[in-house]
Amino acid sequence: MQQLSHRLKDGKMEVAEVAMPVPARGQVLVRNHFSVISAGTEGRTASDARKGYVAKALARQDELKKVIRLARQQGWKSTLGMVMRRLEAPSPLGYSCAGEVIAVGEGITSLRPGDRVACGGNTANHAEAVTVPELLCARIPEGVSSADAAFTTLGAIALQGIRQAGIQAGENVAVIGLGLLGLLSVQLLRASGIRVIAIDLQEELAQKALECGAGLALSRQAEGLEASIAHFTGGLGADAVLITASTDSNDPVELAGILARHKGRVVVVGNVPTGFSRKEYYRKELELRMSMSYGPGRYDPTYEEHGIDYPAGYVRWTENRNMQAFLDFVADGKVKPGLLAGERFPLEQAPEAFDRLLGSRSTAGALLISYDTERQLTTRIQRSPQSPLPGQPGISVIGAGAYAGNMMLPILKSSGKLRGIASGKGLSSKAAMDKFGFAYATGDAEEIFTDRETRTVFILTRHDSHASLAIRAMNARKHAFVEKPLAITLEDLKQVETAWKSAPAGIRLGTGFNRRFAPAVVDILGRLPRQLPRAIHIRVNAGKLPPGHWAADPLTGGGRILGEMCHFIDLARCIASSPALGVSAGGLRQAGGEEDTLSAVVTYADGSMASISYFSNGNVNIPKEEIEVFCGGTVARIHDFRRWEVLSGNGKHHSGSSGKADKGHQALVGAFLKSIDQGTEPPIPEEEIFETMRTTFAVQRALREARTVFLTELLQEDIGTYTEKPEPESPAH
């Protein structure tokens, strides 16, 4: 299928042939009929991408600071490579489209193939087909064209801004900024019995607002603007002001303060700075409110990704209900998106549409992209030759996200055996295919499992899919390497262990516990006294995750204990070189119940012990990971995997350095592939991987139940509670 993309490096746009995705659980696959280009949001994104590097850095100063911090930790060369890969990677555009449902994922009951829907959100792109979460799809009523329905996301944004203003019928409302959002707001306000004042820099847009139902429409430069509005409102001023402009100027917010009546409301819907003079807002006791996109549910993964709706009795207007309400306005003829529609471009000419948008100040109307609904779509795209090394067992990868592209794929490329890459994001998988030399890219992981030339599968998806994908790989008689964690529930871990034990002899199961392969760890282990218990202290300055990050979501990422602390539990197991017995833990009580600032103590069969402190409340300017090992008078220390030292009991001192933070990724992958090629023992015994994961689950339980948890408890549960699960579905990560 075809999809529009642009590159942050130079703003170049292209319509690429990519693999069509397969809907995962809770997702709907929609074949687009139309999508709308947002002149504000998308226009600004495309414009920023065409700026030079200095201008980009100035426009994204928060990201620049993160880059500088990363460079201090990992070195400028490594960091620059990551930044350039991101800038060169193609990114999708679009968030408002409409079309026909052609497939649904597991758990979808409200929609079926053949239904027409309007779609919104980050995946409602300018593409022939899109996978969209169920609650970001709204059924299109009879009589509403797909072209009109394509405006639904923008209409929902406008409608949410109106709701934030708390407007009542008969009030006077000013709309500042008459782009798509502003003109849709004018129509919605008029349809709701509101007297509308419309203001824009362009006289032509003010005239368009009159067609849309505004009672008074003025250019910002009009003589007597304030007097005209005072006359229109009977001297009161505007009860509320909606700012739907997109500008770097403070003028819209300043003007809103002038036009609003005493104790009026000002709602920011568009993209404008909120710095303003105090005088008008203070003297009138104005309320300044922000409108969050489509409505309640936005940016909440529980709502958007997991499909858990808010009860209407408590949250009347959610994202989905705002979208449906807008469509109802259109069906009743009270809102007419067609008044705003301008030129239509077939998808192949979408770059030309953006060039026209950015190259002129034309107000001819919204630009729509149309799609050829008869063109055949496939879930796979191929390179030539079909296999880099015909006849040799290949390596395939599931997942093409940032971690895969920055860390694992460059390592795997050197094997010369790359076969297929699967991802629910067609642009990512195609870019990976082209850059690293995969034979094909697919949107359906099932093609990886049925591919006879694939012997080994690397699973680099989000954490919630790891267990099911590992099981499917082993059931298909393929070796599986799973980026940590192996599973995010104990029940899933049991399923994986059963699948491994049932797999043919010689099938390898690996996990991304790479730190035990770091040069620093390998060196100090050879210098510690043997057959003596070891006291291990690991301190991790983890830092806070951004709000809403998927890794902290218990349903997707499993939380930070399972998602990252497992690394250090495995490292401690490697250093102790003895089976874990029990775990105790204590954590810092935090708002929201986050489990990411804690200490755990693990005891081992030979008398060793490990204290693992995982802290999220530290400072980014100190090293992230510090390890100390005390054993028989010898002390070993590792400083952020860049430097290390060993002071032995006889006074000898040894130090080492790797120049940059080498955490063992390449050594682990090399050892895993070597064990497959040569039929030797795996670099980490599978039984030890399962033990480490059980220890990680024990940390969770010890923290929540405030007691020591022994691993024998979890083993007994493994024996007693195993139940067969149905065949997992194809992922779309």
User: Could you tell me the fold of the domain covering 163-290?
Assistant: Rossmann fold (3.40.50)
Contacts 24+ apart (CB under 8 A), 698-701: 698/580, 698/582, 698/583, 699/561, 699/565, 699/569, 699/583, 699/585, 699/598, 699/600, 699/602, 700/559, 700/561, 700/562, 700/595
Distance CA 695, CA 554 (A): 18
Q: How confident is the model at residue 12 (pLDDT cuts 50, 70, 90)?
A: confident
Look at residue 690 and tell me whether its pLDDT is greater than 60.
Answer: yes
CATH topology agreement for domains 2-151+301-370 and 380-511: no
pLDDT for the residue numbered 727: 44
Residue 89 predicted with pLDDT over 60: yes
User: Per-residue pLDDT for 731 more than 80?
Assistant: no
Please determine, for residue 726, whether its predicted confidence score (pLDDT) is greater than 80.
Answer: no
pLDDT the model gives residue 70:
66
Q: What is the mean pLDDT of the chain?
A: 91
Whether the upstream peptide bond of residue 485 has omega within 30° of 0, thus cis, is yes
Model pLDDT for residues 219-230, shown as the tens digit of each residue: 999 999 999 999
Q: What is the pLDDT of residue 309?
A: 96
- Supply the pLDDT for residue 92: 94
Q: Which residues contact 31 (CB under 8 A, 6 or more apart)?
A: 99, 100, 101, 102, 128, 129, 371, 373, 377
Q: Give me the percent of the chain exceeding a pLDDT of 90.
A: 82
**What residues contact 674, with CB distance under 8 A and at least 6 apart?**
680
Q: What is the pLDDT of residue 717?
A: 76
Work out the average pLDDT over 103-119.
97
CA dist., res. 186 & res. 209, Å (int):
7
Helices 711-720 & 686-705 angle (0-180, nearest 10): 110
Higher-confidence position of 733 and 544: 544
With cut-offs at 50, 70 and 90, classify the pLDDT of residue 385: low
Q: What is the pLDDT of residues 557-587, one digit of tens each?
A: 999 999 999 999 999 999 999 999 999 999 9
Contacts of 145 (CB under 8 A, 6+ apart): none
Note whether 565 and 575 are within 8 A (CB): no
Q: Is the pLDDT of residue 368 over 50?
A: yes
Rounded to the nearest 10 degrees, how much is the dihedral formed by the CA atoms of 639, 645, 646, 651?
-130
Distance CA 258, CA 656 (A): 67
Q: Which helix (H) or strand (E) holds 519?
A: helix 519-525
User: Using the 8-state DSSP alphabet, how is residue 661 labeled?
Assistant: -
For residue range 625-649, what is the model confidence (pLDDT) as tens digits?
Answer: 999 999 999 999 999 999 999 999 8
Residue 486 has pLDDT above 70, yes or no: yes
Closest CA to 321 of 439, 201, 81, 160: 160
Q: Quick one: which of 181, 292, 301 has its CA closest to 551?
A: 301
Q: Can you give the pLDDT at residue 37?
A: 94
CATH class as words, domain 2-151+301-370:
alpha beta
CA atoms within 13 A on the CB side of 708: 8
> Which value, in Å, is the radius of gyration of the alpha carbons in the chain?
29
Characterize the bridge pairing of strands 116-120 and 137-139: antiparallel
Domain ranges of the chain: 2-151+301-370, 163-290, 380-511, 515-664+684-716
d(CA 438, CA 434): 7
H or E element, residue 185: helix 180-191
Map tokens 């999220």 to a residue.
Answer: 616
CA–CA dist 521, 529 (Å, integer)? 14
Q: Per-residue pLDDT tens for 140-163?
A: 999 999 999 999 999 999 999 999
**CB-facing half-sphere around the CA of 585: CA atoms within 13 A:** 32
pTM greater than 0.85 (yes/no): yes
* Chain segment 396-443, per-residue pLDDT in tens: 999 999 999 999 999 999 988 999 999 999 999 999 999 999 999 999
**Residue 491 DSSP SS3:** helix
pLDDT at 693 over 60: yes
Given this model, what pLDDT does residue 87 score?
A: 73
Q: Which amino acid is at 256?
A: A
Average pLDDT over residues 166-183: 96
- How buried is residue 414: exposed, middle or buried, by Cβ count under 10 Å (0-12/13-18/19+)? exposed
Helix (H, G, I), strand (E, B) or coil at 722: coil
pLDDT, residue 386, reads 52
Alpha helices per DSSP H over 555-639: 560, 566-576
Question: Right CATH number for 515-664+684-716 from 3.30.360.10, 3.30.2270.10, 3.90.76.10, 3.40.1080.10?
Answer: 3.30.360.10
Maximum alpha-carbon separation in the chain? 93
Architecture of domain 380-511: 3-Layer(aba) Sandwich (3.40)
Decide if pLDDT at 363 tops 70. no
| pLDDT tens profile 524-545 | 999 999 989 999 999 999 999 9
For the chain, give percent helix, strand, coil, nearest 5.
35, 25, 40
